[in-house]
Amino acid sequence: MYMEGGGNSADDRSRLRQGMSTFLSSLREMARRKRLAWKIVPCGGRNRARDAFLIANKASPDAFNVLLVDSEEPVAQPPSPRTHLKQHDGWELTEIGDDSIHLMIQIMETWIVADPDAVAAYYRQHFLKNALPRDEDLERVGKEQIYGSLQRATMKTQKKEYRKIRDAAALLEAINPVVVRRRCPSCDRLFATLERAINAP
């Protein structure tokens, strides 16, 4: 999996790798039971993630390579990650299978706020849980509202307001994938796709 995020620091990317690995731990264990290799590669910027993904497709055509980036804005229904990335970023991914292209709609923080109990447990005292969106389908909520609500909910805590590089990896380790999948269809699609790929003959 070649994913957007982690910034420019190797240490920050390593922390994000650990966070996402924990979040996807059920899939990782499933892959290990099948004796399949498993690798998550945070790449920093979205263009770097795309480039690394395309290079991997050419270098390792027998691997099941996955691209995971933010959508940055609403996605048309039904969602087509390839079409969205063509329109939003001008990316040509016509030779890539649909199952290899995934979006975090609209930003990674959408998945994080989907489990407010876990976020509250992480920030503890003075966390304003009611500041987070209550929508059942969080992917209809704009990224500015998602990010702003997370900052408002955390600003009075001892850890202070949410910062992506500092907090995202630890929160990925804390949130419950079952809860997130219910409120974020793009997350559910990622899990379902990887489950099929791992269990394929």
Task: Walk along the chain (201 residues) in steps of 10 and give the mean pLDDT of each run.
Answer: 94 96 98 96 96 96 95 88 95 94 96 98 96 95 96 96 94 98 97 96 83
Q: What is the pLDDT of residue 26?
A: 97
Q: What is the pLDDT of residue 201?
A: 83
In sequence order, what are the beta bridge partners of 2?
41, 67
Q: What is the pTM of this model?
A: 0.95
Distance, CA of 97 to CA of 201 (rounded, Å):
18
Q: Which residues contact 46 (CB under 8 A, 6 or more apart)?
A: 4, 69, 70, 89
Task: Tell me how crowded residue 197 is: count the other CB atoms within 10 A of its CB.
Answer: 15
Distance, CA of 199 to CA of 114 (rounded, Å):
27
Measured between alpha carbons, how far is residue 161 from residues 5, 113, 131, 141, 157 in Å? Answer: 19, 14, 13, 20, 7
Q: Phi-psi category of 110—alpha, beta or left, where left has phi over 0 and alpha has psi -120 to 50?
A: alpha
Q: What is the pLDDT of residue 25?
A: 98
Here the tokens at position 73 are 């804005």
Q: What is the pLDDT of residue 112?
A: 98
Q: What is the pLDDT of residue 78?
A: 79
Distance, CA of 193 to CA of 118 (rounded, Å):
25
